[in-house]
Structure 1
Amino acid sequence: MDFAFDARTEELRGKLLAFMDEYVYPAEAVAEEQRAQLASPWETPAVVEELKAEARRQGLWNLFLPDSEYGAGLTNLQYAPLAEIMGRSPHIAPTVTNCAAPDTGNMEVLTQFGDEQQRKQWLEPLLAGEIRSAFAMTEPDVASSDATNITTHIERDGDEYVVTGRKWYISGAMHPDCKIFIVMGKTDPEGSDIRRQQSMILVPRDTPGVTIKRAMQVFGYEDHSHGGHAEVIFDHARVPASNLIGEEGGGFAIAQARLGPGRIHHCMRLIGMAERAIELMCRRAVSRTAFGKALAQQGVVHNWIADARVTVEQLRLLVLKTAWLMDTVGNRGAHTEIQSIKIATPRAVVDILDRAIQLHGAGGVSQDFPLAELYAAARTLMIADGPDEVHQRSLARRELKRYV
Structure 2
Amino acid sequence: MPDLFSPFTLKDVTLRNRIVMSPMTMYRSPPDGTVTDFHLMLVGSRAAGGFGLVFPEQIAIQPDGRTSTACAGLWDDAQIEGLARINRLVKDMGAVPAIQLGHTGRKGSENRPWDDPRRQYPPDHPQGWPVRGPSALPYGGRFQHPVHAMSVAEIREVHAAYAAAARRAAEAGFEWLELHFAHGYLGASFFSPLANKRTDAYGGPLENRARFHLEAIDAVRAVWPERLPLTMRLGSDDLHEDGVQFEDSVTAIGWMKERGLDLADLSVGLNTDDMRAPPFKQLAFMVERGARVRRECGLPVGVSWNLGVPAEADRVIREELVDLVFIGRPALANPHWPVWAARELGHPDPFSLVPEDWAWWLRNFRASPDAIGWPPVPAPSGPAA
Which interval holds the TM-score relative to the shorter structure?
under 0.3
Instruction: Tell me which structure has the larger Cα radius of gyration.
Output: 1
The structure with the largest helix share of the pair is 1
Q: TM-score, normalised by structure 1?
A: 0.24
- When normalised by structure 2's length, the TM-score is 0.25
Tell me: higher relative CO, structure 1 or 2? Use CA pairs within 8 A at least 6 residues apart.
Answer: 2
